[in-house]
Every structure is written in structure tokens, then in C-alpha cells.
């Protein structure tokens, strides 16, 4: 199976989404197909042994649309320009058409004399002919509506264009019939040419405004792409060469002067500086960098002169990965969007039936064909489900883009939607609540061992470990000559067993000692005291006897407590999971303001703890940064990874925080709440609009002595509904916490 995304041209409303999805799913071998109307992208999962792109493209073409492989091609500018031209040409003919058809009535009502040629009573043929020659060019200019609309209608999958095509062509054909009656039978006849012309012009105006608004919702990706520098100064041999960024290779040494952008990801090998990483992390304060520090492409070198070695180039860079994640999120659909898509798929054929039935009913009541025609056209035009189709995907696009600006990468519409309902957040301790950079605070030797002996033994067995606590011991032992370890076994969640110079070494927690029958009764007081100070004590035994204790402390992040207070203010339950002993966990939890915690939890059991919470009907988010957090991140309703964590944790998460600051969890949740609120408002007004608009178009007000809805007003209202949804969505761009 393979999953690919394609650009789909020709979609005009939410009904088109359903039509394209249905067409793609009919292809043998296609397992899954989803379309995002706002981004005009189709994502398909299919078996390459059974089908290929050409089969999918051909099926979609038969449905009246065009699928292309170039997903990165941005046709929005060209499409907007084409619509603008059509609008201008339509207006050129529409204004005189409107004046010819409507001005006489206005002048007569005001008792103002009018030019003789405008008087349709005196010159009915001239009047009819003028309307005909002014309307026909508008029909030709808007021919796309008819080509797509009737093609979709006859294929059994009507869409917005079908409603417009049926409504305006009916008005135009009725006008032609009226001309025949006027010219041949000399009958006075009401023409509907102006309805056809004005409706098409107003629809085009609405599409133009819609395209302008949609472009604003997709600015996040363009802004991210625009961050990349075009060239960089690369050291080659003994010279410095200005090189296009796409030609930089891994291992190249790049020179960056103050004020310049970092071209790709890398490691500083010479110099020191401060770098503005706000475009990646959302953090405005520049970060100090020295030799060995990581630098990220597209960030800005503020004041130092540095050389760095490229470690990630092209699609592997941090910015490229961010762009990929945001694009994938914008293509995805939230569950809330499926309801609108399903309704829209059935909505258009139902509207056509309503229009036919209501117009026939009115004709049977008052025998007035023009009146029935008014009803028919008004119902078709006002019911176009554009607003429904735009309500959700545009909000997801803006929200994911806004999240990226704030250092919060949301991987899918589903995780964005789920996040606003979270009522329990579980934090890992090390590297999440704490800095993740522990230091050795106490070395307590027993027996014949000195502090240096103890440190050398501990560092010797820890040099093969990847645990953060082991790193602290190795850092503390820098400069000491370490022993060669003959055997090394990592006992998950407990510690290390090693063989060193024919000595059996155990280094770890109390459980490790108890499991191996090592007496620790005489050091229990030391362990308790260290744990109460939020230190993690590790016991070293040699040949079954305790040789000493090494304590390591990991300081809590400055922002952790305030972040947890903010989350509590939302009514969210907070928990902490850690492999540390109960006393150390209790001390850290107290400092962070957390009442509930689970200590001595093995990495493999973290996911089980998440599942227990979910069985208690708690919608749970897990926040972590390490490899051992990956199962829990995947098991939670929403997994949130700290961006400077491991690749495995980031891959397992639904949301990635680019800054090492837990306040970003609050930002993500508030963004989700705001986005879902906007989506619900959009859907509510779109449904209310159609619920109220259709009965009015059917003549419900006229029954009670009110006015009859003019088809031209219906067209204006339909266009306004789409623009209003997009305008409401764009309020998300002002989001801040």
C-alpha cells in the first residue's frame, strides 16, 4: 500500500469533495480517499499492485474534475487572476443590462421621465433585444459553470455549479421564449435575462472574494518557505564560495556573519554568537550558542561570526520537516468536517427536488409561470453549499499555520479537534518538567572506597548507557581514566549489571539491590534524606556489598510551575509519571505544583497507566520527550512531544512543541479551543443560512403578505455566506495567549 496526495482542479463546493472521494474510492485497489476543499488536495491510499495514478486520474476526470501529480504547484494566483478577468468582463455587460432592465421601473415609480428606448411598453422588441445581447456575453464568460454543472448533474453527482447552471440557464431559456412571444406573437412578456446575467456576475464576485480569502488562510506555508535563505557562504578548499542552498551537502562548512540567516541545520565548529530562533520556536529571546551547539536553518545570526558544519540539508532540515508537518495537517480533515461533507453530498440533489416541487406547487396555485420560475431559480441559487464546505478546512489551515508561528506543530485536524476536549494531562518528569540536564550533587562512599574510586566505577559502567542520569555521572568523571567493562546488561527501570576486572557490579535503585539480595538496610536513612531533597540516589555494589551512593539532581524548569497553574485554571487534571522513587517524585511534584503522581513506573508500563486513565473516561494528553515515552505518547488521546526530544518521541506524537517550555501545552490547548469555536460558529451560520434561506426562497414570507425573494438577491446572499465564513475564520490569525 502507498499513500499519495494530488492536486484536484475544478472543485467549487463541499458536494464536489464527496464526488471526488466517491470517484477515487470506486477504483479497484483504493483503500482510502479523502479530499480537503480548502487546499484542493486529494489524499489516496492504494495498492500499487492493483492500480496506479493514471487509473485514479481517469476516474476523477470522468466525474468532471482534474487530478494532477504536482501537489506543490500553486495555481491559486493564476486562478484568482482568471476569476478577476471574468468578473471585470461580466461587470462591463452586467451594469448596462441592469440599467436597461431595472432603471425603467425605478424611474416610473419616482415619476421621472425616461428615454424612449428604455420604455419597454413602447419599444418591447428593442428592450428585449438589448437585454439579449447584454446577457449572452455574460453566459459565454461564465460558461465554466454550465460545463461543470451539467457534467456533474448528468453523471449523477450534482454540485454547486449544477444549481447555478440549472437556475441561470432556465432564466436564460425563459428569456429566449419571451423574445419569441414578443417578436412573433406581439405578446407582453416578463423577461428573466437580467436574473441570469446578474446572478452569474454576483456568483463570480463571490468566487473572487472567496479566493482572496482562501489565499490568506494558506499564507502560513508560504511564510515558512519564505524564511529560507537563497544562498550561503561555503568553505571549499582554501576559498569561500557563495553557493545556492539546494547545492549544500552534508559535511560542508558554512560561514555566517552577523545579521545573516543560517542556511541549513548544523553544528558550530568555530566562534560563538546569539541566534534568533523565534521563527522556529516562537521564543523571542535570542539563544546563546558556542562550539558544539546545534543551529537550525532559517534562524538569524544576531551578533557573532561563526563557522558551522552542515548536518541536515534539503528535506531533512528542521524547517523542511515543519513545512511537511503543517502541509500534512492542512490536508487532513477533522472528524467535525465529515458531518458537513456528508450533508453537502445529499444536499444538492435534495435542493433540486425542493426547487422543482415548490415551483410546480406555486404554478398550480396561481397559474403564473413567471412567479413559479422566480421560486425555482431563487431556491437553486440561495442553497449553494459553499459555506458548509469552507467552514472546517479553512479554520484548520489557519490554526495549524498559527500554531507553527507559535512553535506548536499540529500534525492533523483530528488531533487539533481532540485537544480542546482534553481533561487530563500527564507529564513525564525528566526533560519535560525538569531541565533534563542532571548533575551529580553527592558522592557518599562506604568501606575502602574513596569518592574518586566510586565515581570511576560508576562512570565506567555508565559509559554504555544512554540514560540522562548516566550522562551526568560521565560529565562529572571527565578527566578520570575509566575501567574497561567486560560485561554490560541494562536492567530496564532498575539500573545496570556489569562485570569489571572480575568484579560483579550493580549500579541502580533499591529494587535492583533487593532483587539481587544486596543488604541496603544500613544506608536507608541516606537514601531517604537524599530523596526528600528531590535528588535521585543510585547505589553502587561490588561483589554483593554496598560500595557507596551517588546522588544526581535534575532542576525543575523555570516555566513548569506557571504552565501547570495555567492548565489547572482550565479545569484540567494534572499528573506526573516517573521512574524515580516515591520521595524524589514527591519533591519534584511539590515544586511543580502537581498533587497526583506515579513513581517507580517502568518505561514499558507508562502506556498501561495512560490506558487506565482512559478507562476512567478521562480524555488524556501525554507530554514527554524520551524514547521511553513513545508508547505512552502513541497510546494517549493526544501525544505531545517536546521538540528537543528524541526523533522517536516526536514521530509518536500528535503535536510537537518546538520550544522546551511547557507553557506551549497551554498555547496548543487554547488554540484548539479557539479553532473549534470558530468551526462551530461557521457550521452554525452555514446551516442556519440554508435553513432560513431555502424557505424564504420558496415563498414562505409571500404567503403571509411579505416580499418574494428576487433571484439576484439570493445570489448576493449566497456569495455573502461564503465570504462571511472565511472572514470569521481569519479572526484566528489574531490568536494570542
Give catalytic residue positions.
Answer: 428
Distance of alpha carbon 362 from alpha carbon 378, whole angstroms: 13
Burial annotation 681-710 (CB, 10 A radius, 16+ → b, else e):
bbbebbbebbeebbbbbbbeebeeeeebbb
- Which residues are within 8 A (CB) of 607 and not within 5 positions of it... i.e. 6 or more apart? 631, 632, 634, 635
- Cell triple for residue 32? 482510502
What one-character-per-residue DSSP string does 622-674 give? EEE-SGGGHHHHHHSSEEEEETTS-HHHHHH-SEEESSS-THHHHHHHHHHHH
Run of H or E residues at 5: strand 2-9
Run of H or E residues at 394: helix 393-405
- Cell triple for residue 70? 504536482
Beta bridge partners of 500: 485, 503
**Which residue in 195, 168, 204 sits closest to 97, CA to CA?**
195
Alpha-helix residue ranges (DSSP H) falling in 540-605: 560-569, 582-592
Burial annotation 75-101 (CB, 10 A radius, 16+ → b, else e):
ebeebbeebeebbebbeebbeebbebb
- Cell triple for residue 273? 554568537
Distance of alpha carbon 279 from alpha carbon 296, whole angstroms: 10
Distance of alpha carbon 380 from alpha carbon 181, whole angstroms: 26
DSSP helix, strand, coil percent of the chain (3-state; round to 5): 55, 20, 25
CB 204 within 8 A of CB 717: no
Instruction: Give Rg (Cα) of the chain.
Output: 34
CB < 8 Å & 24+ apart, contacts of 596-604: 600/493, 600/509, 600/511, 601/493, 601/577, 602/492, 602/493, 603/492, 603/493, 603/579, 603/628, 603/629, 603/631, 604/492, 604/493, 604/631
The CA distances from residue 734 to 26, 238, 399, 731, in Å, are 42, 50, 10, 6
Distance of alpha carbon 131 from alpha carbon 528, whole angstroms: 95
Positive or negative, the Cα torsion across 389, 392, 398, 404?
Answer: negative
- Looking up cell 539532581, which residue turns up? 553
Amino acid at each position: 500500500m502507498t499513500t499519495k496526495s494530488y492536486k484536484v482542479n475544478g472543485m467549487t463546493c463541499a458536494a464536489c469533495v464527496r464526488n471526488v472521494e466517491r470517484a477515487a474510492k470506486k477504483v479497484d485497489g483504493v483503500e482510502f480517499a479523502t479530499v480537503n476543499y480548502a487546499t484542493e488536495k486529494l489524499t489516496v491510499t492504494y495498492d500499487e499492485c492493483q492500480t496506479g495514478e493514471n487509473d485514479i486520474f481517469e476516474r476523477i476526470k470522468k466525474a468532471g474534475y482534474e487530478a494532477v501529480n504536482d501537489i506543490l504547484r500553486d495555481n491559486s494566483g493564476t486562478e484568482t487572476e482568471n476569476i478577476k478577468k471574468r468578473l471585470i468582463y461580466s461587470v462591463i455587460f452586467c451594469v448596462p443590462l441592469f440599467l436597461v432592465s431595472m432603471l425603467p421601473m425605478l424611474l416610473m415609480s419616482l415619476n421621472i421621465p425616461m428615454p424612449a428606448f428604455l420604455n419597454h411598453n413602447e419599444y418591447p422588441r428593442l428592450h428585449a433585444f438589448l437585454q439579449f445581447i447584454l446577457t449572452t456575453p455574460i453566459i459565454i464568460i461564465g460558461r465554466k459553470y454550465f460545463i461543470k454543472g451539467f457534467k456533474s448533474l448528468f453523471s449523477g453527482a450534482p454540485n454547486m455549479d449544477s444549481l447555478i447552471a440549472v437556475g441561470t440557464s432556465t432564466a436564460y431559456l425563459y428569456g429566449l421564449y419571451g423574445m419569441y412571444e414578443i417578436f412573433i406573437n406581439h405578446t407582453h412578456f416578463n423577461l428573466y435575462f437580467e436574473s441570469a446575467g446578474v446572478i452569474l456576475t454576483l456568483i463570480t464576485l463571490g468566487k473572487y472574494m472567496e479566493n482572496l480569502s482562501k489565499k490568506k488562510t494558506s499564507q502560513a506555508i508560504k511564510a515558512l518557505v519564505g524564511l529560507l535563505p537563497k544562498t550561503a557562504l561555503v568553505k571549499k578548499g582554501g576559498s569561500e564560495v557563495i553557493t545556492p542552498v539546494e547545492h549544500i551537502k552534508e559535511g560542508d562548512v558554512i560561514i555566517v556573519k552577523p545579521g545573516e540567516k543560517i542556511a541549513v541545520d548544523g553544528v558550530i565548529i568555530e566562534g560563538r554568537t546569539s541566534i534568533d530562533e523565534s521563527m522556529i520556536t516562537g521564543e523571542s529571546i535570542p539563544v546563546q550558542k558556542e562550539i558544539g551547539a546545534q543551529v537550525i536553518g532559517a534562524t538569524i545570526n544576531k551578533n557573532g561570526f561563526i563557522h558551522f558544519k552542515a548536518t541536515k540539508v534539503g528535506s531533512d532540515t528542521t524547517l523542511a520537516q515543519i513545512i511537511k508537518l503543517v502541509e500534512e495537517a492542512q490536508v487532513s480533515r477533522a472528524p467535525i468536517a465529515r458531518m458537513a461533507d456528508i450533508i453537502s453530498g445529499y444536499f444538492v440533489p435534495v435542493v433540486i427536488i425542493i426547487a422543482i416541487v415548490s415551483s410546480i406547487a406555486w404554478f398550480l396555485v396561481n397559474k403564473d409561470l413567471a412567479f413559479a420560475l422566480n421560486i425555482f431559480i431563487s431556491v437553486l441559487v440561495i442553497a449553494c453549499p459553499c459555506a458548509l464546505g469552507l467552514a472546517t478546512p479553512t479554520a484548520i489551515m489557519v490554526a495549524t499555520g498559527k500554531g507553527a508561528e507559535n512553535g506548536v506543530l499540529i500534525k492533523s485536524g483530528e488531533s487539533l479537534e481532540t485537544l480542546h476536549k482534553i481533561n487530563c494531562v500527564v507529564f513525564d518528569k525528566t526533560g519535560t518538567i525538569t531541565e533534563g540536564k542532571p548533575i551529580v550533587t553527592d558522592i557518599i562512599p562506604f568501606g575502602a572506597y574513596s569518592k574518586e574510586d566510586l565515581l570511576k566505577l560508576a562512570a565506567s559502567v555508565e559509559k554504555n548507557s544512554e540514560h540522562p542520569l548516566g550522562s551526568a555521572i560521565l560529565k562529572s568523571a571527565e578527566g578520570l581514566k575509566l575501567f574497561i567493562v567486560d560485561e554490560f546488561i541494562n536492567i530496564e527501570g532498575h539500573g545496570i549489571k556489569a562485570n569489571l576486572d572480575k568484579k560483579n557490579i550493580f549500579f541502580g535503585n533499591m529494587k535492583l539491590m533487593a532483587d539481587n539480595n544486596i543488604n541496603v538496610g544500613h544506608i536507608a536513612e541516606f537514601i531517604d534524606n537524599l530523596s526528600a531533597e528531590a535528588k535521585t540516589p543510585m547505589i553502587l555494589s561490588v561483589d554483593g556489598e554496598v560500595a557507596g551512593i551517588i546522588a544526581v539532581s535534575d532542576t525543575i524548569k523555570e516555566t513548569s510551575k506557571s504552565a501547570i497553574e495555567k492548565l489547572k485554571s482550565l479545569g484540567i487534571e494534572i499528573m506526573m509519571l516517573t521512574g524515580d522513587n516515591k520521595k524524589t517524585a514527591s519533591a519534584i511534584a511539590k515544586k511543580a505544583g502537581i498533587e497526583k503522581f506515579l513513581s517507580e513506573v517502568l518505561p514499558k508500563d507508562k502506556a498501561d497507566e495512560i490506558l487506565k486513565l482512559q478507562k476512567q473516561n478521562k480524555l488524556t494528553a501525554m507530554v514527554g520527550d524520551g524514547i521511553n515515552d513513545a508508547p505512552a505518547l502513541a497510546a494517549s488521546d493526544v501525544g505531545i512531544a517536546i521538540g528537543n526530544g528524541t526523533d522517536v518521541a516526536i514521530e509518536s506524537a500528535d503535536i510537537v512543541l518546538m520550544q522546551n517550555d511547557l507553557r506551549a501545552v497551554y498555547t496548543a490547548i487554547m488554540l484548539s479551543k479557539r479553532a473549534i469555536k470558530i468551526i462551530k460558529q461557521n457550521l452554525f451560520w452555514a446551516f442556519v443560512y440554508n435553513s432560513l434561506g431555502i424557505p424564504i426562497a420558496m415563498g414562505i414570507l409571500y404567503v403571509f403578505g411579505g416580499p418574494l425573494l428576487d433571484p439576484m438577491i439570493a445570489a448576493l446572499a449566497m456569495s455573502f455566506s461564503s465570504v462571511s465564513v472565511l472572514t470569521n475564520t481569519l479572526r484566528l490569525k489574531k490568536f494570542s495567549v
